[in-house]
Amino acid sequence: MTFIYSNSNLIPIANDVVNIRTLGYIVLTTSIVVAVIALAFKLNRKEGQTAQAPPTIPWKWFSKGKQLVGAPYRGILIAEKYKPLYGDIIQLSEPFKQRVMLNSFEVISEALDKQSGSTSDRPRNVMLVEMTGIDSSVAFRNHDEKHKKLRRIIASGLHPVAARSYSDMHMSTTAFFLLDIFNRTTQQSESAHDVIDMKLPDANYHSEALLASIQDSIGRFIMRMTFGYIVKENDPVLKRQSALAQDLISNFGTHFWVNDFPILRYIPSWFPGAGFKRYAKRMYSMRQKTVQETFEAVLSQALRGDILPASYASNLIELKGGRNISEDDTELVRWTSNSMFAAGSTTTTALVNSFIFAMSIRSEIASKVQAEIDAQIGRDRIPTLHDRSVLPYTDAVLQEVIRFYPVFPLGLEHVASEEIEVRGYKIKKGTILEGNIWAIMHDPTLYLDPYTFNPERYLKERPETDPRRFLFGFGRRVCPGQHVANNGAFVMGAAFLSVFNISASEETMKKAESCANEPWKMFKAYGAMEPMPFGCTVSVRDKAAASVLETCKETSIMT
């Protein structure tokens, strides 16, 4: 006998009734799934045989492209293995959609820039966009009239001039970052002078401490820039924002059947295999809570007429009428401000982490950066954003990190809203388009000897192409926060090397040498491309650097 709980009473229900109901759901769902798969295979086989379709990678029955779509390091795999065989335009057939990989800047520009009016939508993602409630965000909304308004309003707060206005905020955040690294990688001390020569026995700990410092510091910056929110020690609001961003980004490489069969979103949460519904519900609730804790708090203060700290949200609320702001404008500010954390924290964290990793295994380049900073800035302060023009080698190193270890080897997916033609190939309406950023960054027609890490390539009389041109997207989906992210990464990377030395462990150096021809194998296979934990030692450079750390206590925003 089975019991169900209802209104504080246990009600007996026959086992065979429960079993029959469960069996009915299983039979119905299985029948629908099998029928749709069979139809999709039949239709896609015909499409794959069309003479004008792009070259298609052979597929296996019942996986039909999934072995590539879900493969680790997918963009790199396609660039390294399949581009030489099939060319710059490659089609992957899936049971329910067509996907085209664009493997050179020329074809990406032709499809996503020149035909942006037809290629600026996003593909439908039932699981991670619709069911979690992020379909209102700038990054994932289709390119309709509202999306155009969202992009205009976010650009007004993040354009290059506006991005430079956050210089002081970058500096206070960077001061916090340096102190936080010091505290995490050394024993507690009242003065940085006391621990110059101290080394911890477990060097492997330092890379994880570095990542935690980077994530925390960038999170603090975004919360303050966007909402005027000053993060506290062990702040639950920052923790929720960070957890939500990391969870969503890490799962974008995961295959969810509900994306292939949207009807599955309506099955009961107790149904076998319905764990995705519980995950989506948790993400949705967390997102709603973060909106309430951040934007709604700023809005309620503005409506009361309170004086607000300057921030992206408060400035736009004031610009749109303050206490008299319309509901439409409120929605625009609400969803642009709440789009910033995931995009900004993910990109900048991965970039700074990759910069520090690259310097740990290339001590000669790190020493050149330190020499330039010492000569141009001196030893009594950390570099600022205003120093960038006199630190060309440091900036070139950051560019080479962006090129050699692109944060996203594949750009965010676009979808063709109507049939288009690229290089003589017909690309059908509804086809997913992916720009292969790894392929561009390692294209020998753009970069001489592309598998060599060489910052000098940007300092020649005729410098090679700035890779920042490709990192932040294409067409009408270029990331509007690119200037803020670029500025933040420069200041944090330069300041880190001005104060600290970092050296990779012997084990890390051996692994780097063994992966010299496949450097991506030291990085995470899914989500944003950032280093896996690596052995390293971080130490204060000398007494002058220790004195600079002491002055950081005056400018760091700790609370």
Tell me how far apart the alpha carbons of residues 87 and 97 are, in angstroms, rounded to a whole number: 21
Dihedral sign (CA 284, 474, 485, 152):
negative
Tell me how far apart the alpha carbons of residues 129 and 137 are, in angstroms, rounded to a whole number: 9
Burial class of 154 by CB neighbour count within 10 A (0 to 12, 13 to 18, 19+):
buried
Bridge partners, 414 (sequence order): 433
Residue (of 358, 450, 414) closest to 118 by Cα position? 414
Helix axes 236-251, 275-293, angle to 10 degrees: 140
Cβ within 8 Å of residue 184, ≥6 positions away: 209, 210, 212, 213
Q: How many other CB atoms sit within 10 Å of the CB of residue 16?
A: 10
Q: Residue holding tokens 């764990």?
A: 275
Cβ within 8 Å of residue 456, ≥6 positions away: 396
| Residue 515 annotated as lining a ligand binding site | no
Tell me how far apart the alpha carbons of residues 149 and 329 are, in angstroms, rounded to a whole number: 10
Please give the sequence-ordered ranges of beta strands (E in DSSP) within 383-441, or none if there are none: 414-415, 420-422, 425-427, 432-435
Tell me how far apart the alpha carbons of residues 335 and 516 are, in angstroms, rounded to a whole number: 43
The token pair at 161 is: 């001039």
Burial class of 206 by CB neighbour count within 10 A (0 to 12, 13 to 18, 19+):
buried
**What phi, psi does 3 have (nearest 5°)?**
-120, 145
Share in percent of the chain as helix, strand, coil (round to 5): 60, 10, 35
Residue (of 227, 219, 238, 221) closest to 302 by Cα position? 227
Tell me how far apart the alpha carbons of residues 508 and 204 are, in angstroms, rounded to a whole number: 9
Tell me how far apart the alpha carbons of residues 43 and 57 are, in angstroms, rounded to a whole number: 17
Q: Please state whether beta strands 425-427 and 420-422 pair in parallel, antiparallel, or not at all (unpaired).
A: antiparallel
Cβ within 8 Å of residue 126, ≥6 positions away: 256, 258, 259, 262, 265
Residue (of 435, 367, 363, 447) closest to 100 by Cα position? 435
Length of the chain: 559
DSSP state of 265: G
Tell me how far apart the alpha carbons of residues 471 and 450 are, in angstroms, rounded to a whole number: 16
Binding residues for heme: 479
Q: Which residues are annotated as a binding site?
A: 479
